[in-house]
Structure 1
């Protein structure tokens, strides 16, 4: 994957995480009642509300976690570090895999559109970071690395 491709993936994931993070931190009840689209305009039903009672603490914690992903993704997108990109990819995969598995087992109560859209959207956050784990960006990483000394005087 090229440096540009890597940055596109990182910026997309960071923007997604920032929107979810800010929304759930600033307006936790609205997020709980209207996620994923904030209204019925797009035809989606409320995904979070069907999964249990409102818990402001839990929702704000989820928001903080998404903001952490957004922050780390932003740093990785701005840097040329393969290690930073890989760390962000691992964080997204570790979060997204069990998140997707949980929701695949809890689709009951969702309208057909929601039962299709929810797993697809969750799978994207699992699949998109995978290419960040692979590839050699030696030139980009060499440019970002500080000069080394041989230790000889």
Structure 2
């Protein structure tokens, strides 16, 4: 299996942490706005999936923020390969199940939004999977 540098792992963790803090903060602290306007840029992907529920939306935000904390800890303690793998595993499980759900719901979207959903969710899944690659041993 290909080993990657700790710099690559830090970049992947940073990408996941940024995703987590942006989505998590938005959903938790502005739940109705997040529900009505996610993912932004004039797109609206949530209303067609069901009615607004503040409890559910805040739980989503809290979950993303929890994953952010895990990602930041793995970023700081990058030499702890177990912690990095735990972060990778947690994100991978979430991202895979999230993608599977949304693929089953693609019929609710216009073609442009179908493609963008698959691209966005596949990208974060690939980032979390890449984080599972072992770290290259540091050179003396």
TM-score (norm 1): 0.83
Higher helix share: 2
RMSD: 1.4
Q: Compute the displacement of 1:129 (Å).
A: 1.5
Give the stretch that moved more between structures: 51-60 or 74-83: 74-83
User: Which of 14, 17, 21 is 1:18 aligned to?
Assistant: 21
TM-score (norm 2): 0.90
Runs of 4+ residues over 4 Å off in structure 1: none
Q: Write the distance in 1 (CA, Å) between the matches of 2:118 and 2:64.
A: 18
The structure showing larger relative contact order (alpha-carbon pairs under 8 Å, at least 6 residues apart) is 2
Q: Which runs of 5+ in 1 are unaligned?
A: 141-153
Alignment map for 1:26-45 (pairs within 5 Å): 26-37=29-40, 39-40=41-42, 44=43
Question: In the alignment, what sits opposite 1:50?
Answer: 48
Question: In the alignment, what sits opposite 1:150?
Answer: none
Question: In the alignment, what sits opposite 2:124?
Answer: 125
Rg (Cα) greater in structure:
1
Aligned length: 135
